Chain A
């Protein structure tokens, strides 16, 4: 099912997650994340896929009372990023994120992309400018914005804003990039652009993407995980999941009989 030659980038081991109200949103989730591959998380609303994604950059730590159990181990250094001794800021330095709705800062296009570098105390203007250009090129936005880097990010269209957010996440050379339903707020053309872009990133970057859109998962991902009620129901390479799912529930969800 999974070729053994592909190296692991991260892996969740018996991951439980509890929200501050006591609700258990993840139940003993085990899942491998392969290096430079795209892994898609699918499942009906409330199944815990976004919750799972947000464990990878410790976003839940921003709100008091949330609790993790189990491990997410990063390779090759074998760090459990959920361990109490690991600073969530360090985790976010390694793993970046693109959100559901484009959320650029009310700053210039340049400063949006450069912000991650500013946070990393990068003072060399040459380095910052080069990195910003590289990231904007990586996000297929450079040609559209190279003449107006000092414009406010809000002046871009929704799809451009989302690619700007991708550039912001790329600029810091992350080991893993998380995408939380990155196209759900975009029109079909902008969606196609983002999917194309993710396809270009395949092989260069480890990507974990939550999506509501079955076709999107089928089109862009190498591996797919189907989640339901906080549990990992089925995981496999995308072709297998979409053509010969092992479980009946997975098949029902994929074919639209349920969800």
Chain B
């Protein structure tokens, strides 16, 4: 058989590498040229994306540089650009994000665990799966319209922090669900079977193993979702965030028992991207400096959140080897 092959199908040049060393070396060099071509195109593509972002960031930093001081964070918005600050915007962002976190995490993780572990596998669960993935691609302004109808008018929550938090929670829900499911699927069957084999119930397997071992992936999804939500503007405008706000919502923590206060939930608010949008739309050039500084801050916060996600995932995965 082998003989027949070498005589019939393979070219004689391949018969001996040693005999044609020069020709073979030339051929290898020729083949390697494709590597260089592709690597160059790839590098160019990479740089195109990275450099654009970097240029934008540097531009924002340079424009906003005069405003990088503590006062910028502790001042309310003002008619005078030089003394206008971000206080109400960053406090608003923090409060809105906390609502987003508190709603999207339990709902998203719960939904994902149910879909992976409990839901029967049939056409209906397939349909849900496809739709969850599709939801991640719905334009955010659609979520804003939904929230306007449902939260603001339907449930009467008004143009408040809780409305904004719930809206963004809804927006990042698909991201949380999809990443949680991916993380759960990464747990080997053998580990699951090991837990069942000692007599664990489904819930014991979920709570003692599945959720614990997928924490890294869940956390990554949550933080990536949150970093998307923190920069969202369209849905927040739709539900009616205020653009000029010179007060803080009532503090969530009080000095007297029970030390917690929930009035802030229904308070009006603004968030960082709205503040930026507002400053940007003013004719006075001095406000554009404020906007640039805010833009740079949003980018830094987003990068910090993503960095945290990567770090935490690494820390959690470090102890899990499969």
Contact = CB atoms under 8 A, between A and B. Distances in A.
A169 B120 CA distance: 30
Nearest to B191: A103
Given A64-B120, A105-B191, A97 B199 contact: no
Nearest to A101: B190
A96 B120 contact: no
B197 interface: yes
B188 interface: yes
Interface stretch (B73-81, B200-208, B219-227): B200-208
Nearest to B322: A106
Contacts of B199: 89-90, 92-93, 116, 119-120, 172
B272 to A, nearest CB: 38
B317 to A, nearest CB: 10
Interface in B179-195: 188, 190-195
A115 B191 contact: no
B46 interface: no
A157 to B, nearest CB: 13
Nearest to B192: A62
Interface residues of A, number: 27
A103 B198 contact: no
A115 B193 contact: no
A104 B213 CA distance: 13
Contacts of B190: 99, 101, 103
A37 interface: no
Contacts of A62: 192-193, 196
Contacts of B192: 62
A163 interface: no
A148 B184 CA distance: 29
Residue picked from A57, A64, A105, A120, most chain B C-beta under 10 Å? A105
A154 interface: yes
B204 to A, nearest CB: 6
A133 B198 CA distance: 18
A96 B213 contact: no
Interface string A47-62: 0000000000101001
Contacts, number: 65
Contact of A106 (B121, B198, B204, B213): B213
A115 B195 CA distance: 8
Contacts of A97: 197
A9 interface: no
Interface string B311-322: 000000001110
Nearest to B200: A119
Contacts of A104: 194
A207 to B, nearest CB: 15
Contacts of B121: 64
A168 interface: yes
A105 B321 CA distance: 10
A152 interface: yes
A186 B191 CA distance: 18
A42 interface: no
A172 B193 CA distance: 16
B198 A96 contact: yes
Nearest to A115: B198
A198 interface: no
A152 B320 CA distance: 9
A185 to B, nearest CB: 11
16 contacts: A62-B192, A62-B196, A92-B198, A96-B198, A99-B190, A99-B197, A101-B190, A103-B193, A104-B194, A106-B191, A106-B321, A115-B195, A116-B199, A152-B319, A154-B319, A168-B198
Given A103-B191, A119-B200, 18 more contacts: A62-B192, A62-B196, A64-B120, A64-B121, A89-B201, A90-B199, A92-B196, A92-B197, A92-B198, A92-B199, A103-B194, A105-B195, A115-B195, A116-B198, A118-B208, A165-B194, A168-B198, A172-B198
9 cross-chain pairs, A with B, having the tightest CB-CB distances, nearest first: A116-B198, A103-B190, A93-B199, A92-B199, A97-B197, A106-B320, A103-B194, A119-B200, A154-B321
